[in-house]
Structure formats: C-alpha cells, structure tokens
Structure 1
Amino acid sequence: MAPIEETRLLNHLTAAVMVVDSQLMVQFANQACEQLFGLSHRRLTEIRLTDCVSRIGLEPAQLQQSLASHQGSAFYAMSLVSLDGQHHTVDLFLTPLQDGQGLLELRVIDQQQRISQELHQYAQHHAAQLLVRGLAHEIKNPLGGLRGAAQLLERQLTEPDQKEFTGIIIEQADRLRILVDRLLGPQKPGPRVVANIHRVLEQVSQLCALEFADTLVFIRDYDPSIPDFEMERDLLQQAVLNIVRNAAQAMEGRGTITLKTRTCSQVTIAGKRHRMAAMVSIIDNGPGIDDKLKDTLFYPMVTGKADGSGLGLSIAQNAVAQHQGRIDVDSWPGHTAFTLMLPLITTKESQ
C-alpha cells in the first residue's frame, strides 16, 4: 500500500495508475483506475489485472516477463473492454519496482484514436473516390464502343447461333457498366425528406429477417427521444442494410445483431461541430474483423468473403458522408460494432 501522501497525489492524476505483483495481483489502484474499470478500490485489490477486464489487447505473460527481467515496457493503442462492456483504447506503460512488483500506467486515448480513425477514413474515402472516378471514365468509354459494335454486328447476322454470341457480349458489357455505376455510387445528394431513423432500422431488420429466416436474432435498443431529421431515406437504408447484411453473412446467418440508437451533443465530424447527432450502432457477436482488413476496410473491392464484391462498406461510407456523418468501427472476436454518427440537421438548418 502506498503511503497516505503518495496515495493522495496519485488520486489526483487523470491517468489510471496501479501497482501489481509478479502474478499481476493488484496491490494498489488510484481513483482513475476505479473509473476506468468500473470497480471499487477494495474490489480491484482483491483480483488479478486480467480479472479487471473482459478483454485486454495483450498477453499477461508479456507483462510477467517484463517484471521478471526487470525491464520497462510500453504497449500502444491497446483495446481494453471493461467488465461492464465499455470499450477504450489505451497506452500502457510498465515500470518494474522492487520485490518483483510493477507500476502500471494506463492512459486513455479514445479521443485521439477517434480523430486519427476519422482522418484515416476520410483519406481512404477521398483516395478511393478519385481512383474509382478515373477508372470509371477509362472503362465506360471503350465499353460503350464495344457494346455499340456488338449491336451493329448483331443486326447483320442471320444465324441464331451467331446472334447468341453477340448477345453475350452485350449482356456482359451491361453487367460491367452496372458494376462501375455501383462503384461510383450517387455523386449528388438526392431528394431529402424528414423521416424517422427507427423506421429505417425496422425496414432493414425486416428485410434481413426474411433473408436469414429464424436463425438471426435482432435486439432493439432504441432511444425514442431522437427526433425526425432530414435524410435521403433510401440511401441511408442501403447503408444500414449493407452493414447488417455483412454482419449476418460473417455469422453465417446464425447470431445476434443489436440495433442501438442514442443522441450525442456537441459532436465534431470532419472539423465541423454539430449541436446534436444521432448515434446508430449495429453490433454483432460474430468472429470479428480480420486484422489484415481493418486498415483498408472501406476501400472498394476489399472483402473477406470468397464471393463478395467488396462494395458494401464503400457504398455505406459514401452514403453516410453525404449526410455529413462518419462511421466508427470497433471489433474483436465476439464483438463488432459499426457506429454511424449522423448530424440531426433540420429543414431550417439546411436552408
């Protein structure tokens, strides 16, 4: 136990600080630790560090090895999930002390991580749009000529067997044009109406419930205080549908998807501050997102499915961006959450 004066000093720190022994049993924890883990000081000092959380992004053996070798360690941008389900991103620093003990400092970097993720996604989105528009221009021009030539040739052919081949050329040209159009997505906002976000979520859940029968369970956790706001309803529905369908397919149609809504005040998105925003979370208990895909998740044509097109999340991001919003992602085995932050823009504010 730390002396009284040192304890008072440590309790004034915003960083979570704790002392653990060689078996990672907690010997001391300051008040910031109690807030981070959602546990009382008495409870914390009765358990191991690994029992304070439901998940932490490192192996306990790494900390024990550092303590045994009396070497300091630093672990950056680690995922930490408290016992009450709160997710945080933390930097963890270990300083060995005497008698095999160690001082752990955990700094919560949620805000910095969120800003970094938003900037990264914005850069992804901008780069992908430039790439796709350039490719679309290069593909559509010769594609139109190819289709036109096939149509002219078809008119001069008399044998049905020969016309079958020109029909295939026209059909495949049309299929490629549709694919390019899907890659581009709607480039200009369509007509907007004042609508209810929960009706959009209900329509999506009904569509997916029909597709996956009774093996997919939906849990609703709605905030009824969210007001109706201006949206391009069909576009937003497609964005949510793509995310929900991805979740269902990742779980092979067997699992639980939670649709959760909340309001947030004073939200900053892409450098612009909004007085109020709707937070729409789509949470599944599937296998989680492959670490190899996380950095390129919203790029078009990137997919973890053998038969996937890789367009679903790219289209969803484009739709949310057109609503001046953003998409946040948290994922680990057994939990994946896509959170749409949508500014509550009224008709008066948009004029």
Structure 2
Amino acid sequence: MPIKPIHQQILDNLTTSVILLDEQLFIQYMNPAAEMLLQASSRRLQGKAIHEWLVFSEEDLELMKDALLTLHPYSKREARLMNAMGQELLIDYSVNITPTIGLLLEVQARDRLLRIEREEELLTRHATARSLVRGLAHEIKNPLGGIRGAAQLLERELADEELHDYTRVIIDEADRLRNLVDRLLGPHKLPHLESVNIHAILERVCSLVRAESAERIQLTRDYDPSIPEFSGDKEQLIQAILNIVRNAMQAMHESATEQPAIIIRTRALRQMTLGTERHRLVCSIEIIDNGPGIPEELLSSIFYPMVTGRAEGSGLGLSIAQSIINRHRGLIECTTEPGQTRFQLLIPLEQNHENNR
C-alpha cells in the first residue's frame, strides 16, 4: 500500500472540511471531513458546482467570485446552509484564495460541535444512571438472598403442607425481584468478540420481525455494502437492535398506525467524534418508523431504566440497548416528531475493548 504524502495525511485527518474550488466554483478536491459534510465522495463530486451540493445564497456566491478577482479572503460565522440531502447545516466558513489553484473553502460545522456536546452529555448521564442502578441492585440483592434463604429454612420446618404455599410465595417473589434487578443491570458478560457483518445481523433481526408481526409491517432495507466487518458480539448486537425495532413495532401497534413501516438504513461515516473520542470510520445504523413519536417530556430520559411511555412497557429495552452499544464504544441517539422516530446507532469500526466494562 503506497504511503501518502505528508500534506495528504494531514488533510485526511483534519476535522475541518477543506474544499478546493476552481475559478468557476467547481469542486476540484475535498478531504474526508468535507465528504462527510456533503455526504458524497470526492470522486463523485469532482468537477461539480459547489452550489449544487452546498446551497449558498446568491450573495454568498457573489462574494466568492469577488474574492477570486480581488484576492481578498474573508470569513463568515454561523451561516445556515442546506446540503444536497435537504439537511440544514449551521457552519462557520473561511474563504482563502490561491492564485495558481483557485479558491480554498474551510468549513467548520457548528452543529457538529453541538452534537459532540450532546453525545458527551448523553454518555455521562447513562454512565451515572448505570452506576446508580448497580449500587441499588447490590443493596437489593443482599437482603433478597437472606429473605429467600430464610423462607427455604422455614419451609423445611413447617409440618403443615398448606403453610408451604406462603413460603413458596416469598421464594417466588424474591426470585422475581432478583430477575428484575438482573434485567436492570443488562447483560452480565463482557462482549464475546468475533468478526461480525452488520448486514447479517440486521437480516437476522428482520427475519424475527417478520415472524413476530406476521408480515404486517412494511420493512425497507437501505444498506451500504461498503461497510466492512468489525469486531463485536453478534448476539448482544442482535439484542440491542431487536429491542429498538420491537419498541417501534409496539408503539405503532398501540397507536393503530395506518400502514406501519420501518426503514433500516446503514452508512459508513468518516471522521466521527463520539463523546470525546474521534474515530476514522463509524458504522451508522438508522431505524426509522412512522409511528406516533415519543412524547417530548420523555425524550431526554428514554435510555434510563424503567422509563417508558407505554402502559405495558418495562422501560428496560432501550436502556439495555444503550448499554450494549456503549460496550462496543458507540452510542445511540434519538430524534422524534409525530409520524417519524429515528434511532441512530453509531459503532466505531476500529474496536479496542481492552477497557470495556
């Protein structure tokens, strides 16, 4: 594999998007951060007009053309633009002129910085909740073991068989509470790592969903075949994804959604920061349903144990899913509005589980 020149390596590892335009404002080069911003490859966009993929105002385009004539650089802060996918972007950008090459556009996504802050807060909140649950579980399980053991001893001493019904109630209820605490803690085992194909995992989930829903839910799969295999726990990942899909199914069933549908989409994202850690390549799995949406008052706490908006819900599915993805050094985000709820699972494709707990 040939070694890239040092300047190429620097550009490839920048978090700032760098786009080189010619005198007609056609794209000549983009670094990986810019590819992620525009959601398209440099090869695909080379020779295309910048305004086709990053929608500037006429005034902004005129400023760029004037900068080429006057050789005068400038910057703009908190500009709101649209990319070709219809997504609104909040960015800072600088325009510099290189007379022999063209116009150099440096873009810093402000919404990306806001997302990093939000993700870091989400991870911190979830870690705090998990620590609280572990402490609470320890305090509950110790006396439960004593209660159960005492009930078993009492049962042996009771000659009247009818009285055994009461001791059996104590034992059964102690077991039920212990199982509930175990479920609150999520999977006990560290991930059993092996090479996994995310699309094979998603196909397994889809087959289970089709069977459980009697094919009443329209499933649409939109896969990115370029995503490589990575190191992960196949069974735990199936459980995490299935928990989210089942939540969507149950929400649509309870709200009697007409023509219930779920979209499962995968993409490879470059130069992503999750929490405080930056990753060169991340697997994105989106699960989108057309159900009623999540109440706004619940949205900030849906990954906490025992939080649910459904009368029959346990409030454990999303908490367990988040724990599993956290163990893979990733996270789950959620956005919602009436008629569309989107869960996005982000898993780094370069894994290092030495310190996972």
Same fold judged by TM-score > 0.5? yes
Structure 1 residue 163 corresponds to structure 2 residue 128: no
Please tell me the root mean square deviation across aligned C-alpha atoms, in Å: 3.2
CA distance in 2, matches of 1:347, 1:321: 12
Structure 1 residue 139 corresponds to structure 2 residue 140: yes
**8 A Cα contact 2:116 2:276, kept in partner:** no
1:112-147: per-residue Cα shift (whole Å, max 9, x none)? 331232022112112101210111111001000010
**Do the aligned partners of residues 112 and 275 (structure 1) sit closer, same or farther apart at CA in structure 2, a change above 3 Å counting?**
closer
**Which of 320, 325, 343 is 1:315 aligned to?**
320
Partner of 1:177: 178
1:192-222: per-residue Cα shift (whole Å, max 9, x none)? 1101111111111221221121221111101
Q: CA deviation at 1:84?
A: 8.0
CA distance in 2, matches of 1:243, 1:189: 21
What percentage of residue pairs aligned between the two structures are identical?
48
What SS does structure 2 have at the residue aligned with 1:298? coil
Structure 1 residue 247 corresponds to structure 2 residue 248: yes
**8 A Cα contact 1:289 1:332, kept in partner:** yes
Give, as a single letter, the amino acid of the residue that structure 1 aligns with 2:322. Answer: Q
Query: Which structure 2 residue ranges, 5 or more long, are not aligned?
Result: 1-48, 59-79, 92-108
**Which of 288, 291, 299 is 1:294 aligned to?**
299
CA distance in 1, matches of 2:215, 2:137: 40
- 1:85-164 correspondence runs (5 A): 86-88=86-88, 109-164=110-165
Give, as a single letter, the amino acid of the residue that structure 2 aligns with 1:218. Answer: L
Partner of 1:280: 285
Structure of greater relative contact order (alpha carbons < 8 Å, 6+ residues apart): 2
Give, as a single letter, the amino acid of the residue that structure 2 aligns with 1:339. Answer: Q
Structure 1 residue 331 corresponds to structure 2 residue 336: yes
Give, as a single letter, the amino acid of the residue that structure 1 aligns with 2:290. Answer: N
**Do the aligned partners of residues 348 and 316 (structure 1) sit closer, same or farther apart at CA in structure 2, a change above 3 Å counting?**
closer
What SS does structure 2 have at the residue aligned with 1:252? helix
Structure 1 residue 264 corresponds to structure 2 residue 269: yes
Q: CA deviation at 1:341?
A: 0.8
CA distance in 2, matches of 1:168, 1:88: 58
**Do the aligned partners of residues 251 and 348 (structure 1) sit closer, same or farther apart at CA in structure 2, a change above 3 Å counting?**
closer
CA distance in 1, matches of 2:353, 2:236: 22
**Do the aligned partners of residues 34 and 224 (structure 1) sit closer, same or farther apart at CA in structure 2, a change above 3 Å counting?**
closer
- 1:220-231 correspondence runs (5 A): 220-231=221-232
Partner of 1:235: 236
CA distance in 2, matches of 1:208, 1:304: 21
**8 A Cα contact 1:121 1:298, kept in partner:** no
CA distance in 2, matches of 1:119, 1:280: 19
Query: Which structure 1 residue ranges, 5 or more long, are not aligned?
Result: 1-30, 42-79, 92-107
**8 A Cα contact 2:217 2:262, kept in partner:** yes
Give, as a single letter, the amino acid of the residue that structure 2 aligns with 1:266. Answer: Q
CA distance in 1, matches of 2:343, 2:89: 16
**8 A Cα contact 1:88 1:110, kept in partner:** no
1:289-320: per-residue Cα shift (whole Å, max 9, x none)? 11010111211111001111111111111100
What SS does structure 2 have at the residue aligned with 1:190? coil
CA distance in 1, matches of 2:213, 2:224: 26
Q: TM-score, normalized by length of structure 1?
A: 0.69
What SS does structure 2 have at the residue aligned with 1:251? helix
